[in-house]
Structure 1
Amino acid sequence: MKRNVAFIGVFLALALVCSYVESLIPFYFGIPGMKLGLTNIVIIIMLYCMGTKEAYLISVLRVLLAGFLFGNMFSILYSLAGAMLSLSIMTLLKKSSLCKIITVSTIGGICHNVGQLIVAALVVENYNIFYYLPFLLIAGFITGLVIGIAAQETILRVKRFF
């Protein structure tokens, strides 16, 4: 039990560091709110190495803490919606043995953007915002793929510690 608590603390700190580093990277392609998703490496590692409950815990705590430290209430709202939809879908895909880590991450990246877009449409009460959807699907696919490859390689190297 103490070991799990220590791992959760370390992974939460790592997730916050990834959030901070990502906030420093000038990554803008004309789409508001688009990010690399570096923190998802930590979440995927948690999902595959520790478990679903731990991944949800780290995800929620990271969104709240990063939002208070580096963002605002809207960033927390958007990020939480994207993170919960993404993690829920990734959890379901992980349970089916058909999907590999890279596929789970890629679909998770897409779902994260869809979750944020749904909340944005509800907040601004304008559904024209869905014109961003094709761009966000492509961005989610690319970043999810890159994050999936990084997470898979990391899991291969650290799995023995779990």
Structure 2
Amino acid sequence: MNKTSKMVLLAIMLSFSLVLYYIENMLPPINLIAPGAKLGLSNIISLTCLYVFGFKEAFVILFMRIFLSSTFYGGISTFMYSISGGILSIIAMGILKKLDLKSVSMIGISVVGALFFNVGQLLVASFMISNTKIFYYLPYMSFISIATGIFIGITSQFLTEHLKKIIKKN
């Protein structure tokens, strides 16, 4: 794939990520177990980019999505929570992918990413309220993260397979 095609495809991936973020914000939160929980639909694109393009490109797409979505739909607190969770998530997924463990699928990597996203958010929350007891909330958040991580992983696996076929043809 030449540089121009790659850049256009990455721009499209960023656009898809922003659209998924917007759609998710229109959906009601998953308040059954963890108030404020979301599906993390835009993470489909982050995980797919990690597998199709690599860590550096996935990191850039993640950062740009968080920056733009926070600018349009959130604020500084949205940015702080999202960037801390996003960076921890993409680093954890990148390391796990690089280890190339045969026993850990894309779905498993997605679950790990979801869990680390929560850890990043709680780190910011504990800093903002100056109380580490907020981490008692982690088991509840983790329950939702496992379910959403599986969903995101399955969806990303499907998208990655088809995207790689399209890239091969061109």
Q: TM-score, normalised by structure 1?
A: 0.96
1:114–1:136 CA contact under 8 A, matched in 2: no
2:77 and 2:36 map into 1 onto residues whose CA distance is 11
**Structure 1 runs (4+) greater than 6 angstroms displaced:** none
Is 1:43 aligned to residue 46 of structure 2?
yes
1:151 pairs with 2:143: no
Q: CA shift at 1:32, angstroms?
A: 4.1
2:51 is equivalent to residue 52 of structure 1: no
The 5 A counterparts of 1:74-93 are 74-93=77-96
CA contact (8 A) 2:85 2:116 kept: yes
Q: Displacement, 1:28?
A: 3.2
- CA deviation string 1:119-154 (max 9, x = no partner): 110111122211211101111111111100111111
Q: Structure 2 length as normaliser, TM-score?
A: 0.91
State how far apart, in whole Å, the 1-side matches of 2:149 and 2:65 are: 18
For structure 1, list consecutive stretches of 5 or more residues without a partner in the other structure.
none
Structure 1 residue 31 displacement after superposition: 3.1
Once residues 9 and 2 of structure 1 are traced to their aligned partners in structure 2, the CA distance between those partners, rounded to angstroms, is 11
Identity %, equivalent residues: 36
Any gaps of 5 or more consecutive residues in structure 2? none
State the partner residue of 1:110.
Answer: 115
**Aligned partner of 1:159: which letter?**
K
Q: How does 1:13-24 map to 2 (within 5 A)?
A: 13-24=15-26
Give the Cα–Cα distance (whole angstroms) in 2 for the partners of residues 76 and 105 of structure 1: 21
Distance in 2 between the 1:79 and 1:25 partners? 18
How large is the RMSD of aligned CA atoms in angstroms? 1.1
| 8 Å CA contact 1:82, 1:113 repeated in 2 | yes
Residue 44 of structure 1 contacts residue 105 of structure 1 at CA under 8 Å; is this kept in 2? yes
Distance 1:121 1:89 in 2: 21
The 1-side partners of 2:105 and 2:133 are apart by 34
Query: Equivalents in 2 of 1:92, 1:55: separation in Å?
Result: 13
Equivalent residue in structure 1 for 2:124, among 116, 119, 128:
119
